[in-house]
Amino acid sequence: MPASARIRKGLLVAAVAPVAVLSIFNCGSAQAASVATWDKVAHCESTDDWHINTGNGYFGGLQILQSTWEGYGGKAYAPRADLATKEQQIRIAEKILAGQGAGAWGTCGASAGLAYDHADPFPDKPAEPVDAGMTSLTAGDFNGDGKKDLVAVEVSTGKLFSYAGQGNGRLGDRVEIGRGGWNGLKDLTSADFDKDGKDDLVATETGTGKLFLYKGNGHGLGDRVEIGRGGWNGLKDLFAGDFNGDGKKDVGATEISTGKLVLYPGTGTSDGLRALGDRVEIGDGGWNGMNKLVSPGDLDKDGKDDLIANEIGTGKLFLYSGSGNGVKSRVEIGRGGWNGISDIAGADFNGDGIGDMAAVESEPGSEGKLYFYPGTGTGRFGDRVEIGNGGW
Ligand SMILES: [Ca+2]
Ligand SMILES: [Ca+2]
Ligand SMILES: [Ca+2]
Ligand SMILES: [Ca+2]
């Protein structure tokens, strides 16, 4: 369980916070709070100033740390919490509350009774869509023809669709796989985790912070199994690949509270909580400055899975070549412009043994275009080609 990531005032009284955190995790009830309770937290944190930025690194009425804002999806609303509306700040705070508990607001959370108010702040109002068109792209062979398919969630319906890969970077017709409700899941990533020859899908359930594995059955997805107890909302940018060289696919992620890159080694099974082993750190802090982490497979033809990521500050794309024991030092493979890419999936789409990428370019909150980026085998990508017919 990652430690809580925020709090200006709470930091001063960290010694008392664990008591509140403990009671929350023991009771296991759904986390939520009314607007009136959030108003009390804001009164304590920011004296009711929902647009405050004092330069202390915490922003807005609920004083949310920038990396936490980004980690829980706040940038879909605004670049920083103080630039978002009160409702948007509360909607992200609800996710932090679910992931970290009321202890994230220290004494302000305690005095507001945040841990004991389980009301839905906006019961009659669905959340504004955080992305338009399709979101949460990932790639794997989900129809059993040996060609990698592109999978994505339709924002307007919460349905999961698989677009049949043609083996040449192009996509065929889509079919719905899995059951609905995929708007409540995030960080979708795919690999054949249990080594039965069929790709599986892993995702975090935002409401509970649990990690689930959806077993591929050759024509879609079968039943899901819980493979990670709560706390996964404290991780972001999940990716899948074999990064410890044992031939079994692992799950990697950035830990929001520390900015470290962590790896949960796969055990080659889909055996519930035994599917992943104890986690290890494979990258020092600083990964909160990166996003869109994805493994396209082997990009530089050394036989090891690799990781690519966008540097938020510069919009540059970097390759972190897999070392068999984590990742090597990074190499820049794309000069800027990658902040305009809203979603990335990686796999060997054209079957040449080299990892490729599919990515959506869009304005925030708008539909965008889907592109195919072929891996060249040198660790870079060749010229992109638009695929798909809009609506992404
Ligand atoms: Ca396929
Ligand atoms: Ca499998
Ligand atoms: Ca492995
Ligand atoms: Ca490689």
CA of 377 to the centre of ligand 4 (A): 9
pLDDT of residue 104: 95
CA of 313 to the centre of ligand 4 (A): 25
CA separation for the pair 191, 141 (Å, rounded): 9
**Closest ligand to the CA of 149:** 1
What's the mean pLDDT when you consider all of the chain? 89
| ∠ Cα 266 268 274 (to 5°) | 65
Q: Which residues surround ligand 4, an ion (CB under 5 A)?
A: 298, 300, 302, 304, 306
2: pLDDT strictly greater than 50: no
Could you report the per-residue pLDDT of 77-87, keeping only the tens digit for each? 888 999 888 99
> Averaged over 312-333, what is the pLDDT?
96
Angstrom CA distances, 88 to 23, 79, 95, 130, 309, stand at: 27, 12, 11, 10, 27
Model pTM score:
0.71
According to DSSP, the residues that pair with 297 across neighbouring strands are 306
**Closest ligand to the CA of 213:** 2
Split at pLDDT 50, 70, 90, the class of 302 is very high
CA of 323 to the centre of ligand 3 (A): 12
> Averaged over 168-187, what is the pLDDT?
93
CA of 153 to the centre of ligand 3 (A): 27
CA of 44 to the centre of ligand 2 (A): 49
9: pLDDT strictly greater than 80: no
**Selected residue with higher pLDDT from 133 and 267:** 267
209: pLDDT strictly greater than 60: yes
CB 359 within 8 A of CB 369: no
> Averaged over 338-349, what is the pLDDT?
94
**Closest ligand to the CA of 220:** 1
CA of 17 to the centre of ligand 1 (A): 49
Token pair listed for 122: 């906006």
CA of 166 to the centre of ligand 3 (A): 28
CA of 32 to the centre of ligand 2 (A): 35
Could you report the per-residue pLDDT of 35-67, keeping only the tens digit for each? 999 999 999 999 999 999 999 999 999 999 999
The residues near 53 (Cβ < 8 Å, ≥ 6 apart) are: 59, 60, 80, 82
CA of 54 to the centre of ligand 3 (A): 44
Split at pLDDT 50, 70, 90, the class of 366 is confident
CA of 269 to the centre of ligand 1 (A): 22
Q: Which residue type is seen at 249?
A: K
Sole residue written with tokens 């925020």 = 6
CA of 190 to the centre of ligand 2 (A): 9
CB 78 within 8 A of CB 84: yes
